Structure 1
């Protein structure tokens, strides 16, 4: 505008002609005349410049995008190259297709970076989410299992495209909980999200590098490769970048975990949670037309196939047992039993999200413990291997440390038994323990002490009465119209006479 004003000043104020202005300013005559004749100085309304690259490919971009998105479900070596895309377009549209290979290759390269997350801005979430992508995060929630309260964690997996969410409840937030929770959700929805966004939890990330890359844990890398999904991570301290799942954490707590859940089996409750999430999806989407369930069907169509073989996400460690066949975890806070057979031995331990399982030399389960959580001392004792071992050599009972570990009621009961019966009694207690648990077996023994019975049949009978599924029938009420029958009193003298008569006959013979 400064140049325009100067040109007009030279003409209107200083009286110079167009040729003089041309020599002085260097502008051509046509440009000078336009500015001298201009009367309307309104600015033109701005327009948004088209950012579309390769505009000649616009009629074919939908096909290309579809093929490349489908590639996310395929192995790397079976994905489209630019040449293959170019050939398919030629095959489909024949003479109508008039674009060069260079245009196709340029667009395919750009689109692959966008789809497979290799663009420079891959550290940030896209504003619009494509079907088949998910976000994951944990939340905090208390729950009661078998009347015992736990300060638990629940894994949330949300699909931003449809706003569908799933959650699974655990006692902790370790790697085993993360993997088992994801696997349960994968199996429930029948596939694996193409890409999952996470924060930088230590279960997955060991170090954030300066260039934005991550060093990942070996276990997480193995999990990713097995299920073939791509993991994306938020910037440090920027959990809001996965805002959809952040909202789902609160939504699931308010709608699925209030009031505080109470149940007997965590595994069964987690199955119920998945069904509740499906029912919840029947509501309308907050922004898009249709229900969450309808939109989530597009998510499911875009999922990767489940692997043919599930991944064993258990952790395996080797421990040293003490003289009682027990071992410690978590810096000595947690004590678990194995068996007297494995006293002072090295034992392989399988650890899952909820179980601690000692294995024998053939990798067979010896016993199974519920996994402890919490920063305080806890002990789990499985008596069956100990009782079985003692039943084989009951004479050595008092000379082992196991005798002091047994409940007082069992020791008192064994004192009343004869030496020859102790082995049988211990075997019966072991059988009752296997059938109903050690606590129920101890209650049976305590009841037998009250009745002062020491035989095995009485123990079994008492146990069935106390802990068996015995149906108690209500007393029968007799209708008033039924006549009352008089009690019959037999004449025993007649029987005596007959017996005497039979005796006399036998004597004569």
Structure 2
């Protein structure tokens, strides 16, 4: 087999030359020239290939002009310096430049401007200093965007990440938004997973959830009141990075961690039914990542974290309410506005104010101290989330509004209003008419408050097969299904298709047997002859 590389070729030539093979024989054997033979015998390592000189670009004659403009700008007022657009125009107007694009000039200026400033002693060269992180002392926090298929629809969610600087241990949490609620809940979840709080500083961007205003070019910040209370509760010592891209390197560990996690665990795009399911998956991914090694480290992330875990500050005894309270008024559509979105509540609350506790991925509605609604938070703006159960009392009075109700369409999309509901509804309308058939369906929907959804679906199917189009029949069959599940002995398919018995017969069957003889009217027949004689005498 002929040599594959130039180094192997030189080695083969030198080996054959040591056996006494002539230079001409070597040329014929390896199909090479005399110069190559001489070089191989002289040195075992091939000479590096000389690179041709770079071909000058059309901008080359104008580079000294650009450099001179940039040097003069160092002493010019800040607001009257040459922009790239102005430099490009001056090269054309004053120096006759042609055939050079704006992008070429912009690329050269972007590189050369900082070099000229450094050459003039106006600024240090960009240098990075290696850092050593102490165990249990430092961490970094950041947000990133992720794409998720939520109930068949692709949405953008926000991924919170907290990364320990020493071990590289990272904790992630997905939420519907990147607001202050998600910021707080991400911290709380991370501290619970880690079992403590970093005893030193935690590095942050200038997030609006924490920073109300940046003071000049210093490290001082005006913090939001809730963030001050939150970090005081957990004992967090924040360190705020420089604004913009210039400060991204100050927490480069978590910046790269979010991208690594997204590429390795969220490709392909995950499909989930709820954000709680997604966060369960993310927790499992975080646990698996404890077994990986970062770079050239000899220990895994989990082994490194075992060193710093005992050095973390202990968790506080009391909890901190991460949600935010609102008091909206319920409008005539039985909806409340929360952060540009609308959510439904029971119709009996129309016109009243309710209390809303907003979390990162859900919101809870209270009437006084009683919970009246709970919704998954909408990830987009201008959306509406309606619960069909909230409108049932009103629909009993206005059954004609049900077929076109938005709440009904959302229930269908969520799988709560099944084809079994539609089939039973159609049969009930054919039997009882539009209004009464719809009211019968609404009575069935009211049963969802007391019976499990899956049992009611079984009850609807059984009642439809038997032709029993009343809410009582559906309730009876649903309770049968629940009893079968409780007994851990589900009825076979042929038993589920049995005829529906009435509630009256079911109650009578539970009474003890009646052993009394059947009633008789024989004693009363003895009175008949005397009655007739009395009538004849009177006549």
TM-score norm. by structure 2 comes to 0.55
The question of whether the paired residues in 2 share the 8 Å contact of 1:413 and 1:454 is answered with yes
Residue number in structure 2 paired with 1:33? none
- Please, what is the CA RMSD of the aligned residues? 3.8
> Against the structure 1 CA distance between its residues 242 and 472, is the aligned structure 2 distance closer, same or farther, given a 3 Å change threshold?
farther
Q: 2:471 aligns with which of 449, 452, 456?
A: 456
Q: Secondary structure at the match of 2:304?
A: helix
| Among candidates 140, 144, 149, match of residue 144 of structure 1 | 149
The question of 1:198 aligning with 2:198 is answered: no
Give runs of aligned pairs for residues 237-386 of structure 1, distance below 5 A: 237=244, 238-331=247-340, 334-362=341-369, 364-375=370-381, 377-386=382-391
Q: TM-score, normalised by structure 1?
A: 0.58
Q: 1:398 to 1:273 in 2, by over 3 A?
A: closer
What residue in structure 2 maps to residue 94 of structure 1?
none
- Structure 1 residues 415, 208: CA separation in 2 closer, same or farther (over 3 Å shift)? farther
Query: Distance between the aligned counterparts of 1:306 and 1:126, measured in 2?
Result: 31
Match of 2:190 in 1: 185
User: Residues 304 and 411 of structure 1: is their aligned pair in 2 closer, same or farther, counting only changes over 3 Å?
Assistant: farther
- In structure 1, C-alpha distance between the alignment counterparts of 2:233 and 2:429, rounded to whole Å: 54
* 1:480 counterpart residue number: none
Q: Deviations over 1:438-497 (max 9, x none)?
A: x9979987996797532224323676899997968799xxxxxxxxxxxxxxxxxxxxxx
Q: Please, which of 199, 215, 219 is the counterpart of residue 212 of structure 1?
A: 219
Q: Tell me the secondary structure at the aligned position of residue 328 of structure 1.
A: strand
Aligned 8 A contact 1:390 1:426 in 2: no
* Whole-Å separation in 1 of the counterparts to 2:385 and 2:462: 24
Q: 2:417: which partner in 1?
A: none
Structure 1 gap segments, 5+ residues each: 1-123, 476-509
Q: What's the CA shift for 1:295?
A: 1.2
Following superposition, the deviation at residue 202 of structure 1 comes to 1.0
* 8 Å Cα contact 2:355-2:365 kept in structure 1: yes
CA contact (8 A) 1:162 1:285 kept: no
* More divergent stretch after superposition (405-414 vs 236-245): 405-414
1:213 and 1:445 map into 2 onto residues whose CA distance is 65
CA drift at 1:436: 4.7
1:43-69 C-alpha deviation (Å, 9 max, x unpaired): xxxxxxxxxxxxxxxxxxxxxxxxxxx
Structure with more contact order per residue of length (Cα contacts < 8 Å, sep ≥ 6)? 1
Contact 2:344 2:387 in 1 (8 A): yes
Structure 2 Cα separation of the partners of residues 320 and 345 of structure 1: 6
Q: Which runs of 5+ in 2 are unaligned?
A: 1-127, 410-421, 495-539
d(CA) in 2 for partners of 1:302, 1:185: 16
Residue 30 of structure 1 corresponds to which residue in structure 2?
none
Name the SS of the counterpart of 1:197 in structure 2.
strand
Query: Alignment length, in residue pairs?
Result: 342
- 1:236 and 2:224 are equivalent in the alignment: no
C-alpha distance after superposition, 1:96-130 (max 9, x if no partner): xxxxxxxxxxxxxxxxxxxxxxxxxxxx9982211
Distance (Å, rounded) in 2 between the aligned partners of 1:343 and 1:248: 47
Mapped pair 1:223 → 2:230? yes
Aligned equivalents of 1:447 and 1:150: distance in 2?
A: 38
